[in-house]
Chains A and B, each alone.
Chain A
Amino acid sequence: MKLNRRSFIKSAAVSSAVATAGSIFPGISFADWKRVKGAYGITWKKAPCRFCGTGCGVLVGVTNNRAVAVKGDPNCSVNKGLCCVKGYHSVQALYGRDRLKKAQIRKNGKMVEVPIAEALDVIAAKLKETVKKHGKDSVAMYGSGQWTIPDGYVASKLFKGCLGTNNVEANARLCMASAVTGFMTSFGIDEPMGCYEDIEHADVFITWGNNMAEMHPVLFSRMLASRKRKKDVTIIDLATRTTRTSQAADRSILFKPNTDLAVANAICYEIIRNGWMDKDFVKKHTTFHKGKTNIGYGTEDHFKFKDKPENMSFAEYKNFLEDYTPEKAERISGVSARDIKYMASLYGDPTKKVTSFWCMGMNQHVRGTWINNLVYNIHLLTGKISTPGNSPFSLTGQPSACGTVREVGTLTHKLPYGVVMKEKARKKAEKIWDLPAGSIDPKPTYHTVEMFRALDRGDIRFMWIQVTNPMITMPNLNRYRNGALKDDRFIVVSDVYPTPTTDVADVILPASMWIEQEGMYGNSERRTQHFDEIVPGPGDTMSDTWQIIEVARRLGFKKQFPWSQKNYIGKIWEEYRRFHDNPKHNMAPYEVLKARSGVQWPFVNGKETRWRFNSKYDPACKKGSDFDFYGKKDGKAWIWARPYEPAAESPDQEYNFWLNTGRVIEHWHSGSMTRRIPILHNAVPESYVELNPEDAANLGVVNGELVKIISRRGSITMKASINGRGVPPKGMVFVPFFDEDYKINEVTLDAFCPISKQPDYKKCAVRLEKA
């Protein structure tokens, strides 16, 4: 190509313009940033993202001890260099103006700043006093799926081990307890068998009540990219509300709330009726079971439930499914028999690899354990499990719900290895923790909802809350906030910003946030992700782990908490790892974690396990087997007969709408971090109520007008959103829960799955008024 003068000028202009647009800087003036003084170079350090359970690897750009930029970590196989808008701006959450930097103590009703050592003294004294006055089970620790692994580990060691109370719970009870009980009842061992690589292998994706486009956007992009690259990839969005995920899907199928149970059973019915069952697999690797029915909703205090599993034959199971022919399921669910048959044909097609994704839609469900079981049934009947692309995949919502809550076991019945009810597990913990035999109580105490009820009743008098915001996130919030505010309740809150939860605190501890401390998270695909202390925290901030260690030492447990602040994380990790010294759960050594952008467990002989229960990939499988579901004694997974049962509270004459709650892509959890990030706050400055356009017309409201949402528990008035981010079907409204000025959980119901004890935030009855 010979250049004449004109084309040369044109081409130079274009390439300089492209260079400018393409490489962001230099050459473009950046608004009005305040610059870090004397800073020229950036060093990049790896960390997992602070927000959701996807576990993206990020590289944090640091200059003069300030985090100034973020890029996707190309070495991290989760996101391969791409983040979402929250991840890219995550470091700005470190620098909100109202960051908590000093400890505070309530004195004469007012919070006053004190040196942190004084606050720690007060906490230790109050703990001791409360145990003395009201017994060991009157003190509680309420933690988080955002706890680092060491945070949760030392919390469990102090409360379960040293203090001997099983009053340790975490907000992950509200987010993935049903996933855990689903795994335990179907497979006898927790966490997904597959990994994110399933996304590139699968031909069909079915999202069960899971708006991945907003909640797990990075994985959703991987799915879209796979569909674009390959031929014949199909995405089905099976949900109760139309979302961005429905827009991107090849087919959007809506079901009535709670009726996914009927749909899943009908899919199984069709699979068997059409001879799509993998008979060989089912015979070799599964057994059939049923449990109790009409199991209740847990809305009353002291609710107790224990399932009673019974064996059943395949013929009996088949007979059970007769209630769920596609036609009968259509009457229950509103999903056409045709659509049910279509989905069954996708699951049943032997040439197609199928991945099911779900998260809160199936977990925050009064029959959460059941619906988890039923989706596993589909994959077990068709033998589409534990092989690349064939994957029932339960996603998590918090960065370390798996790592800290499920693996460390920061739930009332759990220990890092096994459950408190088992002597072997208690002995193991007592040995590793250097405690006398019998230190650990064999009886679980309160699950989260019951724990806050106990606080309200006065059975619990002292609660320490770390890295979470229950005064936004507890369902039926009015009761639990009033409980926390009662006289003679002592609340300690460790957090990074003032929140409605610090508002009810008697002591506030300023916590290190994310990369201001060393730690590990564990994501949805069994990946443990280490991060160093990358920037210093402001003021008196202290890691949650170290706060607990300080209090433990004040209580006299120096022997159990001997570490120095210089290397405690590595020491804690190596101690914790002893709980998982078997090929089903081996964790990678500290040095390996430090070096890599995440390592999957089981980590056996220096290798990560991508697909569990499949002897091709999983060294824990019995030799000579093809599949080995080794969580169960006989190596066989359980197929469960679980019926459809309705929600705890369905719309009636008076309260005639469903209320559904959830998130938006911009805000994470209760918004205490994302709302302090300017770009995210400006994109969605406040919450709103989504209405179906027809319902809005009937109510006489247009976009932005105020609507009052009233339930039997409370009411809230907020702006209507019509044809906005999502569209609920007629008879349903949807509200994002992030906004502390519109606490939708004052309206929701504290009904839960009797097996998992996880509340259902997706279903309760409300009525609407134009405000």
Chain B
Amino acid sequence: MKKAENTRGLVHGLAAICLVGLMALPVMAAPGIPQGFDANGEKIFKRYDKTPLAATTGTDGKRNLNSYYELRQYPGSPPMIPHDVDPSFSSKGLKCLSCHEKGGYDSSKNAYAPVTPHPENELCFQCHVPKHAKKLFRENNWLSIAPPKLGISELAGSPPPIPHSLQLREDCIACHTGPAAVAEIRVEHASRGNCRQCHVPFISTAPAKEFKRKN
């Protein structure tokens, strides 16, 4: 038990979930609470308390839609880089893909790296730039549109359509699963695999069409 406690911060990703699953659960009597009733229901609360957040919610809780859109100028724009990068920005020393191709835990940031849906584009800085200035050069009257609403299912419980264009965002699993996924749009059934079996594009900014016979 001790050992598991000590290493918890170091184990990564799914390994953490497996290890937690294997830990023996201590049944320690809390003062004044009788034991062994309610089908030992106390175990649930103990387990909940001991299980790291990433393992219970599936995300590390660092990214949500607010922080996601804060990095973008409009829904669908390339996000800026929210962390330090080598100022030279030469691809030699800069290996975005070492973290962002497959994701994983970065202990220096105590966070899981988001996975890019388009790792085949290796010239990252073509679209993604860091933020160095503290102040704008001049103010700007830019207005954006509202991001797509969540859960716009056609029917109660039916799979929601894909509200965004698939251009450069065709790899659903990269953004919608894993510990770095944005909490609100993370899916719990990525094991299904063939995403477009159930989810088809219905771009929220495009006008909806109705089928009408021509004659």
Contacts and interface: CB of A to CB of B under 8 A. Distances in A.
A204 interface: no
14 contacts: A1-B50, A11-B53, A11-B61, A18-B58, A25-B151, A28-B149, A30-B151, A69-B156, A82-B192, A85-B200, A665-B200, A678-B208, A682-B209, A740-B213
Nearest to A220: B194
A228 B210 CA distance: 39
Nearest to B160: A24
B183 interface: yes
Contacts of B139: none
Given A14-B64, A679-B200, A683-B200, 5 more contacts: A17-B183, A68-B155, A98-B213, A248-B194, A679-B161
A277 interface: no
A228 B139 CA distance: 52
* Among all A-B residue pairs, the 5 with the closest Cβ atoms: A683-B200, A217-B197, A14-B61, A28-B151, A675-B211
A740 B196 CA distance: 25
Nearest to A684: B200
B81 to A, nearest CB: 23
Most buried by A among B155, B201, B214: B155
B117 interface: no
A675 B214 CA distance: 13
B153 interface: yes
B191 interface: yes
Size class of the contact patch on chain A: 35 or more
B213 A221 contact: no
B156 A61 contact: yes
B49 interface: yes
B11 interface: no
Contacts of A213: 194, 197
B202 interface: yes
Most buried by A among B152, B158, B209: B158
A14 B183 contact: yes
A91 B155 contact: yes
A221 B154 contact: no
Interface in A327-377: none
Interface in B88-107: none
B146 to A, nearest CB: 12
B155 A31 contact: no
Contact of B200 (A15, A20, A61, A680): A680
A681 interface: yes
Contact of A682 (B188, B192, B196, B202): B202
Most buried by A among B184, B191, B198, B199: B198
A61 B158 CA distance: 11
A85 B199 CA distance: 6
A485 interface: no
Contacts of B151: 20-21, 24-25, 28, 30
Contact of A13 (B64, B192, B206): B64
Nearest to B48: A1
Contacts of A679: 154, 161, 200, 202
A414 interface: no
A224 B194 contact: yes
Contact of B197 (A69, A70, A85): A85
Interface of B: 49-50, 52-53, 56-59, 61, 64, 149-161, 183-186, 188, 191-194, 196-202, 206, 208-211, 213-215
A167 interface: no
Interface in A89-123: 89, 91-92, 96, 98
Given A11-B53, A91-B155, A683 B201 contact: yes
A503 B149 contact: no
Contacts of B50: 1
A237 interface: no
Contacts of A218: 197
B169 to A, nearest CB: 16
A764 to B, nearest CB: 26
A395 to B, nearest CB: 16
A88 B158 contact: yes
A17 B60 CA distance: 13
Nearest to B208: A682
A1 B52 contact: yes
A741 B215 CA distance: 10
Contacts of B209: 681-682, 685
Contacts of B197: 84-85, 213, 217-218, 220-221, 665
B156 A10 contact: no
A96 B194 CA distance: 29
B215 A503 contact: yes
A126 interface: no
Contacts of A157: none
Most buried by A among B50, B153, B194, B196: B194
Most buried by A among B153, B154, B186: B154
Contacts of B64: 13-14, 17
Contact of B153 (A22, A24, A61, A225): A24
B109 to A, nearest CB: 16
Nearest to B57: A18
Most buried by A among B152, B156, B160: B156
Given A98-B213, A503-B215, A30 B152 contact: yes
A676 B212 CA distance: 8
Contacts of B150: 20-21, 28
A263 to B, nearest CB: 27
Contact of B184 (A10, A21, A85): A21
Most buried by A among B53, B150, B191, B193: B193
B49 to A, nearest CB: 6
A722 interface: no
A228 B192 CA distance: 10
A88 B211 contact: no
Interface string A240-252: 0000100010000
Contacts of B183: 14, 17-18, 21
B215 to A, nearest CB: 7
A486 interface: no
Interface in A217-233: 217-218, 220-221, 224-225, 228
Nearest to A664: B200
B213 A10 contact: no
A740 to B, nearest CB: 7
A535 to B, nearest CB: 14
Contacts of B214: 741
A17 B150 CA distance: 11
Contacts of A89: 154-155, 158
A71 interface: yes
A225 B191 CA distance: 7
B53 A14 contact: yes
B198 to A, nearest CB: 5
A294 interface: no
